[in-house]
Amino acid sequence: MIDHQEKEFKELMLRYNFAKRTLETELDILLKEYEFNHETTPVEHIKSRLKSKSSAIKKLEKKGYDITPENIKNHIHDMVGVRIVCSFLSDVYDIVDIIKSSNKFRVKDESDYIKNPKDSGYVSYHLNVLVPLYLQKNIEYIETEIQIRTVAMDFWASLDHKLRYKLPDDIPVYLQREMLECSESINVLDTKMQHLYEIVKKYQDK
């Protein structure tokens, strides 16, 4: 790899790091303001990460793209990832609305895998947002991914990832079926907990 391209890679990773820090700060402000105004704490925890250069290269290779900084920008949409884990289903959509209504980001794309789960059983809400970086000479927008889900959804996704990591590419059909059934059971639990939450809120309103 020539020195010029290596410098481009380093510069790109630096921008992703800036975007991660900016996103973390802005989300923290938005969510704390929401908690103050509504006197509630919908978020259980937040995790963020920056995908490494080596992971990005592996992903490009898997997709069949040349290893260039430009292809990372154009074809890898989760270099910066934030996961917001909530208590209840309604909290997920409240937080989605908070982010979408904020003037701090531009929403590029969204996928509601809660209403439309993946075939694997994966359930979550994804927002791809463009984070503005105010650099010395210009404003640059960096794509980031925000995943919003309940504790139950996060539990399933975490264990599913660990199981799939240990399995070969061709997962046996019966195992896929078992994983899907677990996901469906968790979705039923989420719905029941949401129902109980709404009952409790009615008592509080009285």
Which residue type is seen at 195? Answer: H
Indicate the SS3 state at residue 191.
helix
Q: Which of 21, 18, 17, 6 is nearest to 57 (CA)?
A: 6
Could you tell me the CATH number of the domain that includes residue 172? 3.30.460.10
**What whole-number distance in Å separates Cα of residue 100 and Cα of residue 93?**
10
pLDDT of 37-94, one tens digit each? 988 889 999 999 999 999 999 999 999 999 999 999 999 999 999 999 999 999 999 9
Q: Six-digit token pair at 196?
A: 């109980």
**What whole-number distance in Å separates Cα of residue 127 and Cα of residue 113?**
11
pLDDT at 1: 46
Can you give the pTM of this predicted structure? 0.90
Does residue 206 carry a pLDDT above 80?
Answer: no
Burial 73-92 (b: 16+ CB within 10 A, else e): eeebebbbbbbbbbbbbebb
pLDDT of 150-195, one tens digit each? 999 999 999 888 777 666 667 778 878 888 899 999 999 999 999 9
Number of domains in the chain: 1
What range does the domain containing 18 cover? Answer: 3-205
The answer to whether the beta carbons of residues 113 and 187 sit under 8 Å apart is no
DSSP 188: H
The answer to whether the beta carbons of residues 102 and 30 sit under 8 Å apart is yes
**Cβ-based neighbours of 23, under 8 Å, separated by 6 or more:** 48, 80, 82, 105, 129, 131, 144, 146
